[in-house]
Amino acid sequence: MPPQVPMLMPVPERPLGCPPGLEYLTQKQFSKPLSRDYKCSLSLTVLMGWETNNQYVVKNSLGQQVFFAAEESDFCTRMVCGPVRSFLLHIQDNMGQEVMTLSRPLKCGSCLLPHIFQLEVQSPPGNPIGYVIQSWHPFLPKFTIQNERKEPVLKIVGPFCDCKCCSDVNFEVMSLDESSVIGRISKQWTGFEAEALTDADNFGLQFPMDLDVKIKAVILGACFLMDFMYFEHTQKQE
């Protein structure tokens, strides 16, 4: 059987003021759920029990590939620090041009400080466009989305119990006062076999069509962060 050729999203016209590469996030396909398929070296993880750099494919609601993302971290960091490790995540468009870089410092497993920096989102050549800051809470995963000036824009609130068995896990994207839900990051349940035997995960991402494109990019970055923090497991860690 010949290898499957992925459907690629056509290059859209870039609106005025939109950073290069982020024009993909301005299209109407993103007013519906945006699917993200996470893929890595499954055979190495399952059979040998040691981790490789994560790789991701981002698709729009039509199933067209929009971005490809690859982690940059060293073997020792992945083995010793696991999901709290520092990393760079390089996001490329379908022509191989880097459109975003996500950077995360090394984080402890139990943070007691009120506000913990977790992620910086940059557009080339190293221009910050937003940040994800973790807020301390006794039992809820809570984060603040900041713009490039480090001004709070939105909140992300996760569930009380991040149960990973037989159901989706939703992180609500909310207004600053947490009075309204404007979007969602969802870890989608893929079945017992896929969840137990592979590292393949599916996420859905929703946000308003008229949201600032830079903030859309930061929410997309937060989706990767949720995967690292709450859903990355290896045989060694378990």
Are 130 and 214 in contact by the 8 Å Cβ rule? The answer is yes
HSE-CB at 20 with a 13 A cutoff on CA atoms is 10
CA nearest neighbour of 235 among 16, 47, 2? 47
CA nearest neighbour of 80 among 56, 106, 54, 46? 106
Distances (CA, A) of 38 to 45, 59, 68, 74: 14, 10, 10, 19
Position 66 pLDDT exceeds 90: no
How do residues 180-221 score in pLDDT, each as one tens digit?
999 888 887 654 444 444 455 678 888 888 889 999 999 999
Calculate the average pLDDT of the chain. Answer: 75
Position 167 pLDDT exceeds 80: no
Least confident of 13-27, 36-50, 186-200: 36-50
Reported confidence tier of residue 20, pLDDT bands at 50, 70, 90: confident
Residues 6+ apart with CB under 8 A from 184: 170, 171, 172, 173, 204, 205, 206
Residue 129, Cβ neighbours under 10 Å: how many?
Answer: 20
Distances (CA, A) of 188 to 70, 84, 205, 223: 21, 22, 10, 12
What pLDDT is attached to residue 41?
A: 22
Residues 6+ apart with CB under 8 A from 193: none
Q: Which two tokens stand for residue 199?
A: 């590292």
> How far apart are the C-alpha atoms of 39 and 58, rounded to whole Å?
10
What pLDDT is attached to residue 36?
A: 36
Please report the domains of the chain, with CATH numbers, ordered by start residue: 34-231 (3.20.90)
Q: Which two tokens stand for residue 82?
A: 């696991």
> How far apart are the C-alpha atoms of 180 and 218, rounded to whole Å?
19
